[in-house]
Amino acid sequence: MQANQLTTYTRGDLMISSPDETVVLKLASLAIGATPVAVTIDIPAIGEYWPGQGGVNAGLMRGENGTPDYWLIVPTDEAVKGKKLAYGGYEVDEPEAASRFDGLANTLHLVEGSGQNHPAAQWCDGLTIEGHGDLYLPAINELALCMANVPELFDKEWHLSSTQRSANYAFTMHFDDGTQDSYVKGYELRVRPVRRFIR
């Protein structure tokens, strides 16, 4: 998800750039008058490994404010397991990282727009799993989807979300019983990155 990684299409005076390769390809197809080719993608059952996507299908997450729905993917690589980090930014109110749905937007703000140190979000943002560098710290509702559909992938402990509750607290979820709460941003808790697939 690193913002400096853009896909760019150039033709004559036209230049299209986006971190989302699918958007670039669709716009480029429209620009040159090409008919897009339908691609069939086999989406595995919830809880099944998704070949080529870096992890297990955790289910369909509803997009927020008109954004498209997306499949949430939980990496299972050993590199993402067992990590404990702090949220960071204690005593700093960051409402741009308060979305209960959009962990990607929260993480982008924490990594690039905050000006504070946010170890959990920065660690997730810096990962590459199976060639995918678009991992992020999930929002609290994304963790709730994981609790509902793939709790076996998570340690039975408190997990940190990217959703800020206040200047001093961030939302958390316990994967033993699904309890949601908030912890001081300075506490080190389990961190599990996710990524998304948009059809």
Predicted pLDDT at 24:
67
Tell me: pLDDT of 1 over 50: no
Predicted pLDDT at 3:
46
Tell me: pLDDT of 135 over 60: yes
The CA distance from 43 to 40, in Å, is 9
Q: Note the pLDDT tens digit of each residue in 66-75.
A: 889 999 999 9
Q: Check: CB of residue 155 under 8 Å from CB of residue 190.
A: yes
Share of the chain above pLDDT 70, in %: 85
Predicted pLDDT at 34:
55
Considering only residues 163 and 21, tell me which one the structure prediction assigns the higher pLDDT. 163
Instruction: Compute the mean pLDDT over every residue in the chain, rounded to the nearest whole number.
Output: 90
Tell me: pLDDT of 112 over 70: yes
Considering only residues 17 and 180, tell me which one the structure prediction assigns the higher pLDDT. 180
The CA distance from 29 to 20, in Å, is 15
pTM check: above 0.75: yes
Determine what percent of the chain falls in helix, strand and coil, rounding each to the nearest 5: 25, 30, 45
Predicted pLDDT at 138:
99
Q: What is the mean pLDDT of residues 141-168?
A: 98
Q: Check: CB of residue 121 under 8 Å from CB of residue 129.
A: no
CA distances from 1 to 80, 86, 146, 161, 169 (A): 16, 20, 20, 17, 25
The residues near 65 (Cβ < 8 Å, ≥ 6 apart) are none
Tell me: pLDDT of 139 over 80: yes
Predicted pLDDT at 16:
77
Q: Note the pLDDT tens digit of each residue in 114-129.
A: 889 999 999 999 999 9
